[in-house]
């Protein structure tokens, strides 16, 4: 009865219950967002939870837009409002000729197809029947690549 009459004790008990609820909510949020944010087979479940917890605690610093980007955006908006010409001052890529692009595209495609073919062949979870189907698809759609890597196969 003495404890029940003391309002400070009741407030403390309510506060402890709220903290427990907040901890449970935090754990729920961490467990809910962990697979969406970090789904790496290289990290343990605890490491993933720690990483998501860090992001949750430090999101204002981690996701902060750098001042240089903010200033560049402000300058662009100011120039557009004044009606100045749209002059790009920052370039993130280099122009290339169409022939260079086509050459790079062909090399990249061949490399990707080679890697894909090696992955299909080396995959132990794929059945032999599925592997043959994938290789027939490669032969049908990319016969030049197929003939380069499987010259003896007919």
Does residue 106 belong to any structural domain of this protein?
yes
Residues 108 and 56 in one domain: no
Q: How many residues in the chain?
A: 154
Average per-residue pLDDT in the chain?
Answer: 81
88: its two tokens: 């790009």
pLDDT reading at 103 higher than 80: yes
Please report whether residue 41 resides in a domain. yes
Q: How far apart are CA 140 and CA 136, in angstroms?
A: 6
146 three-state secondary structure: helix
Residue range(s) defining the domain that contains residue 133: 98-149
Closest CA to 113 of 145, 140, 148: 145
Q: Are residues 6 and 57 in the same domain?
A: yes
Q: Report yes or no on 69 lying in a domain.
A: no
Q: Quote the CA–CA distance of 147 and 153 in Å, as a whole number.
A: 8
Distance CA 62, CA 65 (A): 9
pLDDT in tens, 33-88: 888 888 888 889 899 999 999 988 898 888 899 999 999 999 888 888 887 766 66
Spatial separation of the C-alpha atoms in residues 48 and 35, rounded to whole Å: 8
Q: Is the pLDDT of residue 1 over 50?
A: no
Where is average pLDDT lowest: 10-14, 37-41, 74-78, 143-147? 10-14
Residue 75 domain-assigned? no
The answer to whether residue 33 is domain-embedded is: yes
DSSP string, 2-43: HHHH-HHHHHHHHHHHHHHHHHHHHHHHHHHHHHHH---TTS
Q: 132 in a domain, yes or no?
A: yes
| CB neighbour list of residue 89: distance below 8 Å, 6 or more residues apart | 72
Q: Which tokens hold the place of 22?
A: 């907040």
User: What percent of the chain has a predicted confidence (pLDDT) above 70?
Assistant: 79
pLDDT over threshold 70, residue 8? no
How many CA atoms, within 13 angstroms, populate the side-chain half-sphere of residue 66? Answer: 3
Residue 52 in domain = yes
Number of domains in the chain: 2
Kindly state whether residue 76 falls inside one of the protein's structural domains: no
């Amino acid at each position: 009865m003495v404890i029940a009459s003391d309002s400070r004790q009741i407030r403390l008990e309510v506060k402890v219950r709220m903290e427990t609820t907040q901890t449970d909510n935090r754990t729920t949020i961490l467990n809910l967002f962990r697979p969406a944010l970090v789904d790496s087979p290289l990290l343990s479940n605890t490491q993933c939870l720690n990483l998501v917890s860090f992001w949750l605690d430090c999101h204002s610093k981690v996701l902060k837009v750098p001042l240089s980007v903010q200033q560049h955006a402000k300058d662009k908006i100011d120039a557009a409002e004044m009606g100045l010409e749209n002059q790009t001052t920052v370039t993130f890529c280099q122009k290339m000729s169409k022939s260079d692009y086509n050459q790079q595209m062909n090399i990249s495609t061949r490399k990707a197809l080679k890697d894909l073919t090696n992955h299909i062949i080396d995959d132990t979870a794929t059945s032999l029947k599925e592997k043959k189907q994938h290789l027939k698809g490669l032969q049908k759609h990319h016969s030049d690549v197929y003939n380069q890597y499987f010259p003896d196969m007919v």
